[in-house]
Amino acid sequence: MSNNKTKATLLVSKNKSKAGLHPNNRHQGRYPMKALCQVTPELGEHLITAKSGDLSINFSDPKSVKLLNKALLAHSYGVQQWDIPQGYLCPPIPGRADYVHRLHEMVCRDLDSNDVSVNALDVGTGANCIYPIVGASQYRWNCVGSDIDPVSINNAHSIIENNIHLKEHIECRLQVNDRHFFTSIIQPKERYHVTMCNPPFHKSMQDAQQGSQRKVANLSKNKGQGASKSSKTATLNFGGQSNELWCSGGEEAFIRNMALESQKFAEQVIWFSTLISKKENVRQLKRALEKTSALEMMVVEMNQGQKVSRFAAWTFMGKTQRKAFAVSISK
């Protein structure tokens, strides 16, 4: 394998996606609110009429956002029972799904096959378990979801157990050491096509709270309202526990440490990946990988309306090795 004593030259490539969601994303256009209310009737109590005349919800209300997610998962992925504890992260599903779609596309293109049965690890799956749900439901991924929070793992496990089509494809594991990403989660004989992660964005709880207040204020501004007094003390509409929102050193330290630890599992994973919120942290990840024997790093930009997000993926295997490795996984 490539993780030998000779330091490799890191090849970096960038791929800018076309504007909009991935073609395979099931959340194109406006939300079909009437259809969503049919699968989740309680959502109907939270509908409002937007200025455009379309039905919508108040996106600054955590309960409305959670009910919308519940309805989207039922309508688009057949998830009949889904819930999260109060205060836990409730991510916007369309953008999260795009990460899964573009990873799947990347893996298939890299292996020159459109029929790859992907083994995936979601580092920090959270109580919502969104990435494994989308991957298993749409592409029949076999997923392991890990997290350092026992409540998140218990809740994710409950979701899986209560949805038959997910049980055979998803397993949840508790990470007992919050300093590790892959250690104790990836077992000695396990092999994965890809890992994925949505890292904590903030450096401290205070930083996270300020970010929440800015988000709520921006939502009010977009509605033509002033920043109300309540917005100054509001919680983030998508929720989030401390470990979901912040860590020491923030996103920069998180992805740097992940990159360094990934080399220990260079012979068990084809592509490691992570979302990167701050564009300048792409450079920090590259610097960290240059200290390892990583061979290739790919940065994929996702353009969704006015929002541009990105993920980075890296590998310690050459092209020929990756193909041979993928064949060995499928046996």
Q: Who's near 53: CB < 8 A, 6+ residues apart?
A: none
- Expressed as residue numbers, the domain containing 73 is 11-330
Residue 110 located in a structural domain: yes
Is there a domain that residue 200 lies in? yes
For residue 6, tell me if it sits in a domain. no
269's tokens: 């994973």
Number of folded domains in the chain?
1
Say how many C-beta atoms besides its own lie within 10 A of residue 100's C-beta. 29
Residue 9: what pLDDT? 86
Residues 149/245, Cβ–Cβ less than 8 Å: no
pLDDT in tens, 30-81: 999 999 999 999 999 999 999 889 999 999 899 999 999 999 999 999 999 9
Give the whole-angstrom CA distance, residue 190 versus residue 140.
Answer: 18
Structural domain contains residue 1: no
Give how far Cα 316 sits from Cα of 3, 197, 310, 330, Å: 6, 18, 21, 20
What is the DSSP code (8-state) at residue 164? H
DSSP tag of 10: P
User: pLDDT-based confidence at 210, cuts 50/70/90?
Assistant: low
Report the alpha-carbon distance of residue 287 to residue 281 in Å, rounded.
Answer: 10
**pLDDT tens for residues 142-190?**
999 999 999 999 999 999 999 999 999 999 999 999 999 999 999 999 9
Q: Could you tell me if residue 326 is inside a domain?
A: yes
Label the pairing between strands 296-304 and 307-315: antiparallel
Residue 50's φ and ψ, nearest 5 degrees, are: -75, 170
Residue 101 has pLDDT above 60, yes or no: yes
Q: Return the residue matching tokens 């890990």.
A: 146
Chain centroid to Cα 263, Å, comes to 21
For residue 227, CA distances in Å to 70, 168, 214, 233 come to: 29, 47, 9, 11
pLDDT by residue (tens digit) across 248-261? 778 999 999 999 99
Cα within 13 Å of Cα(197), Cβ side: 27
DSSP H helices, the chain, are 33-39, 62-77, 93-110, 130-139, 150-161, 164-167, 205-222, 242-245, 250-262, 281-289, 319-330
- Flag whether 161 is in a domain: yes
Q: What percent of the chain has pLDDT over 70?
A: 83
Residue 207 CA to residue 202 CA, distance in Å, equals: 6
pLDDT greater at residue 234 or residue 7: 7
| Domain-embedded: residue 276 | yes
CATH code for position 54: 3.40.50.150
| pLDDT of residue 201 exceeding 70 | no
**Would you say residue 212 lies in a domain?**
yes
Report whether 270 contacts 194 (CB < 8 A). yes
- Measured distance CA(305)–CA(206) in Å, rounded: 29
243 or 91, greater pLDDT: 91
Q: Is the pLDDT score of 234 beyond 50?
A: no
Separation between Cα atoms, residue 157 and residue 170, nearest integer Å: 9
Q: How far apart are CA 56 and CA 33, in angstroms?
A: 7
Asked if 2 contacts 316 with a C-beta cutoff of 8 angstroms, the reply is yes
Residue 308 confidence (pLDDT):
87
Q: How many CA atoms within 13 Å lie on the side-chain side of 144?
A: 19
